[in-house]
Structure 1
């Protein structure tokens, strides 16, 4: 943030210089009025009036050019700040969900950046640059007569007191309103993502009631802050108008007492208005100033936590091994590990199946293996290098990941498979699609690989999204492929394609890890890891581990055999067959 603001420092110096010139030229109005009253009307000289008018018009034209320049420079300052901060801010937004605790608003940093840019491009900085010139106007008023100067000082003191009151009264409501804005938009986004279940299960009314409660508090907060801001602005505006009238009355009295010229009456009224207008403008912009200040603090904190870090030294792409030693993983915002003491080693061409009951830590382990959640203890290494020694962008092409909930992006099928790479190889896209067994399906669509699938892959079924997600994971034949329940939404044809893909990726020298509940996903794998209660129950060759940790259920000859069962959560030491009352199907 400091660096981005430093980039615009010279431009702000230019704004200050322009403000100095414009504030001096603003004296044109009162001085013109004085000359008209004191010279033209007394001398009845038309040439003098024409000359003064032309001079004033020329100055006003020049002043208009300076005002336009000042506004354009401020717009460029806002644009420059956005250019400097948009990339790290968006990267932080993408990183925040991986590290966010409950209550964090994912989109808040972008809104904070918008708030800062809007303030820096608006009239707030102009008011701040005009404030230092207020003593000049008061000094000129004092030269006209000390009473004019005293009246202007009293008016400025009153308006400054209003400013401090607005700071005190608006700070907390503005902070709460910002939090309510985030909560409101998070509810809207969640409703958009879950529109189908909300409609199908009759949840729209209940969800709308929840939104109405948050929206009601938001509207109340906005009403409170807007009411305070409007009240302060109205008081300052009416006070300034009343003060102008008071200055006119004071000037008239001074003229009657022959202590000032008639022209000083009008000139003093205009100068008083101009002297106090920056304070009035600051009061009107105070809410925006508080918002921008709070946004800066929040954005600085986010960029400090999740901004661009130092890029590690480039390492060659991994090709040999994956090793996990004493791994413990905690979810963001928690201090209790979900999995602990997991150790394993795999080499190029090997495949691992991770099995276990729901909640045993399988998905958490898969997230840790691809670097989504960091290790709280222990290490994950590729070719001997820990994951934090890799730049995620550099390691990304060597990683293939298919999460449980496959979410595709708005764009074409080819763009999604190629991970939106700007220089994607069409041959590699087709190869990945064939590997995932989805090539013919894609060709059957209206525009083939160029078919636009909409947000979240809206035009695709869950099975189609999963198979295209699998093709994305296999794009470029990455070294480490982690698939979290890849057959959850697949039909028999899709499962056959999945088995072929696993076999092919292993034959290419990659390591593949499959989280599975259904045992047919283990057919093409040679190792199995059994998880239970967040701990590693068993790890080794597939057949040996399954033989030790599972057993079939006694069933009639005509009935199909029940899926193998996992051990009890209390199992320790050498894995044993589970008790008959606690069998959990893979």
Structure 2
């Protein structure tokens, strides 16, 4: 934020300079009135009146032009600030979600609030510093008028401070309650099918209504308090102008000042008190902008999950996992495996290797830690202990813009984005037609996509709502394969696939191996094991078996000392396929720690 502030300084300096000229030109009407009353009327000189009128018209035209330029400058600054803030804030929102914070889109709305303040609500802030100058001019006309104007300005400033104090907490509570209500509505929309199927809407509506009602109540309290003070301010300002005219008339009668000075003092005091009145009327918006800036600054002050490093060369796909442990709630995790409670360790001392051109299956019962391990293998979270390395480099610390295009990830819960099929396959970037078709062909969904109404240009809807579960799964698989990634992690890739889809998945795994990719397949079903070379069996977050596919399956099948454990770790039907002759004892492989 400090860098952005420094880059905002030049346009703010220009706006301050324009404010200087604007406030000087604001005296035009007062000076014109003084000259008309004190020079033109006593002398009856029409040429002087014409000359003064032309000069005044030109000055007012320049005033209007400068005010327009200042407003446009601040609006452009707001546009620039929003464009510069949005990408890093979106990045921090994604990080916050991975860390378990549910901020929704509140920070993006804060950027819009800042834009609105700069574009519409901040101009009076540039005029407030000129209030003492106007008061000094009134003193120059006569000290009595100056005393009266200063007293009035002090009273209005006190009212402005009271307005800030009594509305700040209300506005902060309103924002917090509004954000909670929006988060509830967004969650209901994301899970519309569940909401409708099990009739969750009444409960969600009550929760939304409660938060929304709290927000409205807080906003209403702030509005009522601000409205009372605003009306008091208007009354004080009008009373001051009447008092100034009365005092000025008294001084004119006593021959202590001229009639022109009397009229000019009324105009000048109106200009002096106008920014204060605007401050009270616009303080709600300014206060909202201040709170938005505070939240955005806090977001930028949070420590980054990854320390930016030097760009590294393209990886070959050599994966090494060494002594990895992971606890839900540690290491920047916002979620876990199998509904594990925060604070529970779900992975213990996991070590294994996976080579380019090889497919490795990770199997085990539910809550064994398979999906958590998959997240670590793509660098979503740092381990509590140990390290995950890709080509010797710590995968979590690898720059995302470097390594992201070399990783293919199919999560257990498939999520597509609003856009075309081609855009989703191209990872929401500019689609490369050849690469998109190649990825779809590799995922064996090219023909399926061509049967859609607009083919690759078909809009999938928010979350892929316009596609079936199997279609979403296969498009997401094509997205994972886009760009020939070197490391591909597939978490339950056949969860929504039929028999034809499973065959296509196996062909894709074979093709990936032939291309030299390192493939990790997480799954329960035996169809996922057909093309793998080795198997890692997990139980309770620990390595139970690791080695060639046939040996591990045979070893798990032949465990007679713990038959229940063996049966639960073995995917149903996986052990029915023929394998090599059984060894006298289970031959299990492990990787020595580095």
Does the 8 Å contact 1:88/1:307 carry over to 2? Answer: no
**How far, CA to CA, are the matches of 1:213 and 1:320 in structure 2?**
51
Contiguous gaps of at least 5 residues in structure 1: 554-562, 568-573, 577-586
Residue 549 of structure 1 contacts residue 565 of structure 1 at CA under 8 Å; is this kept in 2?
A: no
* Cα distance in 1, alignment partners of residues 129 and 416 from structure 2: 55
1 CA distance for matches of 2:56 and 2:455?
A: 70
Contact 1:550 1:565 in 2 (8 A): no
In structure 2, C-alpha distance between the alignment counterparts of 1:164 and 1:312, rounded to whole Å: 47
What residue is the counterpart of 1:347 in the other structure?
A: 355
Partner of 1:16: 16
Q: Which residue of 1 aligns with 2:524?
A: 517
Post-superposition Cα deviations, 1:367-422, rounded to whole Å, max 9, x if no partner, equal 11101122222100011111144221211222110011111122222222222342
Contact 2:252-2:258 at 8 Å conserved across structures: yes
Superposed CA offset, 1:314-364 (max 9, x none):
222222521111112334365543323211111122222222222222111
- Taking only aligned residues, the RMSD between alpha carbons, in angstroms, comes to 2.5
- Distance in 1, matches of 2:298 and 2:3, equals 15
Equivalent pair of 1:326/1:377 in contact (CA under 8 Å) = yes
CA deviations over 1:37-76 (Å, ceiling 9, x no partner): 3333333443333332222212111111111111111112
Q: 1:372 aligns with which of 360, 380, 392?
A: 380
Residues 244, 272 of structure 1: 8 Å contact kept: yes
2:541 and 2:223 map into 1 onto residues whose CA distance is 51
Give the whole-Å Cα distance in 1 for the aligned partners of 2:478 and 2:55: 74
Could you tell me how far apart the structure 1 residues matched to 2:76 and 2:34 are?
38
Residues in 1 aligned to 2:485 and 2:239: alpha-carbon distance in whole angstroms: 75
Is 1:252 equivalent to 2:249 in the alignment? yes
| Worse-matched range after superposition: 348-357 or 269-278 | 348-357
Shift of 1:520: 2.4
Corresponding residue of 2:408:
400
How far residue 306 of structure 1 moved from its aligned partner, in angstroms, is 6.7
Distance across 2 between alignment mates of 1:12 and 1:236: 29
Taking a change above 3 Å as real, the CA distance of residues 147 and 452 of structure 1, as seen in their structure-2 partners, is: same
Displacement of 1:467 in angstroms is 0.9
Maintained 8 Å contact 2:363/2:524 = yes
User: How big is each residue's C-alpha offset from its partner over 1:91-143, in whole Å with a ceiling of 9 and x where there is no partner?
Assistant: 22333322233xx313122112212222122242x222212221221112112
The one of 311, 317, 329 equivalent to 1:314 is 311
Q: 1:537 touches 1:575 (CA, 8 Å); kept in 2?
A: no
**Count of aligned positions:** 558
Quote the offset at 1:163 in angstroms.
2.0
Say if 1:88 and 1:308, in contact at 8 Å, map to a contact too: no
Q: Does 1:26 align with 2:63?
A: no
Correspondence 1:282-361 to 2 at 5 A = 282-305=279-302, 311-329=308-326, 330-331=328-329, 332=333, 335-361=343-369
Aligned to 1:556: none
Q: What is the DSSP-based 3-state SS (H/G/I as helix, E as strand, rest coil) of the residue aligned with 1:433?
A: helix
SS across alignment from 1:509:
coil
- CA change 1:493–1:149 in 2 (3 A) is same
Q: Map 1:48-67 to 2 at 5 A.
A: 48-67=48-67
- Of 83-92 and 483-492, more deviation after overlay is shown by 83-92
Q: Aligned to 2:350, what secondary structure does the other structure show?
A: strand
SS at match of 2:312: coil
Alignment-derived partner of residue 569 in structure 2: 566
Residue in 2 that maps onto 1:97: 97
More divergent stretch after superposition (303-312 vs 11-20): 303-312
Equivalents in 1 of 2:548, 2:52: separation in Å?
99
Q: CA deviation at 1:513?
A: 1.2
Please report the TM-score for the alignment, with normalisation by the length of structure 2: 0.88
- Structure 2 spans left out of the alignment, 5+ residues: 335-341, 561-565, 571-584, 588-594
Distance, in Å, in 2 between the alignment partners of 1:375 and 1:444 is: 43
CA 1:495–1:423: 2 relative to 1, 3 Å: closer
Alignment partner of 2:438 out of 405, 419, 431: 431
Q: Which residue of structure 1 lines up, in the alignment, with residue 143 of structure 2?
A: 146
Task: Label 1:224 to 1:422 Cα distance change in 2 as closer, same or farther (>3 A).
Answer: same
Q: CA deviation at 1:309?
A: 6.8
Structure 1 match to 2:110? 112
Q: CA deviation at 1:292?
A: 1.9
**Shift in Å, 1:221:** 1.5
Contact 1:551 / 1:565 at 8 angstroms: preserved in 2?
A: no
Cα-to-partner distance string for 1:144-167 (whole Å, 9 max, x where unaligned): 211100011101111111122223
Task: Select between 202-211 and 67-76 the one with higher mean Cα deviation.
Answer: 202-211
The answer on 1:129 being equivalent to 2:136 is no
CA distance in structure 2 between the aligned counterparts of 1:220 and 1:471, rounded to whole angstroms = 49
Query: In structure 2, do the counterparts of structure 1 residues 93 and 14 end up closer, same or farther at CA, with 3 Å as the change threshold?
Result: same
Give the Cα–Cα distance (whole angstroms) in 2 for the partners of residues 50 and 153 of structure 1: 35
Deviation at 1:294, TM superposition (A): 2.1
- Who is 1:557 aligned against? none
Per mean C-alpha deviation after superposition, the further-off stretch among 267-276 and 193-202 is 193-202
Bigger shift: 528-537 or 409-418?
528-537
Aligned to 2:87: 87
State whether residues 317 and 487 of structure 2, in contact with CA within 8 Å, keep that contact through their aligned partners in structure 1: no
Q: Give the structure-1-normalised TM-score.
A: 0.89
Other structure's SS at 2:404 match: helix
Shift of 1:169: 2.0
- Are 1:233 and 1:280, in contact at CA under 8 Å, matched by a contact in 2? yes
Q: 1:180-579 counterparts in 2 under 5 A?
A: 180-305=177-302, 311-329=308-326, 330-331=328-329, 332=333, 335-422=343-430, 424=432, 426-550=433-557, 564-566=567-569
CA distance in 2, matches of 1:291, 1:225: 12
- Distance verdict in 2 for CA 1:414–1:143, change over 3 Å: closer
Q: Aligned in 2, Cα 1:170/1:340: closer, same or farther, shift over 3 Å?
A: farther
